[in-house]
Every structure is written in structure tokens, then in C-alpha cells.
Amino acid sequence: MGERPVEAVAQKLGMIYEGKAKQVYATSDPDLVIFYFKDDATAFNAKKRGTIEKKGIVNNRMSEAFFLLLEGAGVRTHFVRRLSEREMLCRRLEIIPLETVVRNLVAGSLAKRLGRSEGEPFKQPVVEFYFKSDPLDDPMVLPAHAIAFGWASAEEVARLESLALKVNAVLRDFLDARGVTLVDFKLEFGRYHGEILLGDEICPDTCRLWDKATGEKLDKDRFRRDLGGVEEGYREALARVLS
């Protein structure tokens, strides 16, 4: 693809973006950024706010583990290396403004929207797209919307779906072997030197993870639904991934 080698050292410069869960910093290499993972917790498009102790450490470490797993399975990601407990060096992507959601079981907003029972399995994984817009509460959109509004080409939309299903297959098998059900998850992708790479993070903030034996939630639903034991749930999810 003509991509040049990643520099061994990229000096951290000023912050260029702050989101709900991360800060992103420029570096001396224009192709690289540094992610800093915060403990801030939000739900319902930031209408509910709080703090989950050491969440940033868990999310950074788990994202690293999943990105390395996926790279080994042939899915290219923005991950370069973990720099510290809370910082990760990443390739700088031109983010495609579509959140790609993969669902294996009915849960969350889908259960309410369609009047289905939580935990009901699908006959096959379902891929959904949402337009990344905080003011609009990230509305669900059709692939045709993405193409018509120029957010992505038809080929890119097809590539997003294909990559999302591959990520699902890899993570689902990996987690199943560790006693965890991958219920659903959100992915973000971006362009990098003519290639679409997986970006953002993969962690209990972006995935629904249920204990296979008990159905106990090991993800941000513990915060969303005031279930208690939020930090413990995150730590247990990380322990399973690293086992």
C-alpha cells in the first residue's frame, strides 16, 4: 500500500480531540496519534455521567489484547503498541462517520425497539450502522444513507460489513472458550493510506459481555442500569480475556 514504516519514537504533542472516554494527542509523526484512556463513564449519549475506577487501564489493556488477536487473524487495525497503563500509540485514521454494530443476541435498545426478550439469539449475526453524531444521538441509518450522503462508498460499506463479521467470528470464538458470551459490540473504522483499518477501542465500554454460566453482565450495562459492582465486572472481563 506504500505505507512507510512506523517510527520507533513519536513525541507526544498537543491534544487534538477529547471524547467521552478518551483523549487523542498528536505526535511528531503526522501518521501517528496517542490515545489516553480516561476513567470517565457516560451512558445514553452522555446524559448519564460518572466515573469507573481504573476503567481506562482496563480498556487500554483489553483493546491491546483484542487488536493483537485480530491482527493475527488478518484484520488490520490502527494499533501500534501500548505505551503505558493508559496510553496507546495508534495510526492516525480518517474516521468513517459510521458506528458499525454487530449483534449476536437481542439486548439493550434493540429489545425495547422491537419488543423482543433480552438474550433471544439471532439465526445469524446482524450488522447495523449508526451515524456518528452526538447532537442527533447517533441515529440508526441504512447503507443507502451512508452512500447517498457521501459518508462512505458502496465498496467501503460492503467492506465494513465484511470486516465486522470477521471481527465477530474471531472474538466470539475467543470469548466463548473463556466462558464469556459476546452479545453485541460497536466498531469504528477509518481510512489509512488507501486502506480501511479497525480503530477506536474494543472493551467493556463498547461490548456486551455476559458470563456464559450465570448471565452476569461484565460490561458497561452494570453502570447504565445501576447494577453495582461495575469495577469488579470490568476487572473480571479483563481477567477472562487475558487468561
The pTM (predicted TM-score) of the whole model is 0.94
Domain end point (choices 91, 113, 142): 91
Task: Please answer whether residues 76 and 197 qualify as being in contact, where contact means their C-beta atoms are separated by less than 8 angstroms.
Answer: yes
Does 11 have pLDDT greater than 60? yes
Task: Please answer whether residues 211 and 219 qualify as being in contact, where contact means their C-beta atoms are separated by less than 8 angstroms.
Answer: no
Give the model confidence (pLDDT) of 91-118 as tens digits: 999 999 999 999 999 999 999 999 999 9
Domain that holds residue 82: 12-91
Share of the chain above pLDDT 70, in %: 95
pLDDT of residue 78: 98
E strands in 83-206: 87-91, 94-105, 121-131, 140-141, 180-192, 195-198
Instruction: With respect to residue 60, please indicate whether it lies within any of the assigned structural domains.
Output: yes
pLDDT of residue 35: 98
Domain end point (choices 56, 75, 91): 91
Task: Please answer whether residues 188 and 196 qualify as being in contact, where contact means their C-beta atoms are separated by less than 8 angstroms.
Answer: no
Same domain, 131 and 149: yes
| 136 pLDDT tier (thresholds 50, 70, 90) | very high
Give me the mean pLDDT over the 138-145 stretch.
97
Does 43 have pLDDT greater than 50? yes
Instruction: With respect to residue 206, please indicate whether it lies within any of the assigned structural domains.
Output: yes
Average pLDDT, rounded, for the chain: 95
Domain end point (choices 43, 61, 91): 91
Instruction: With respect to residue 2, please indicate whether it lies within any of the assigned structural domains.
Output: no
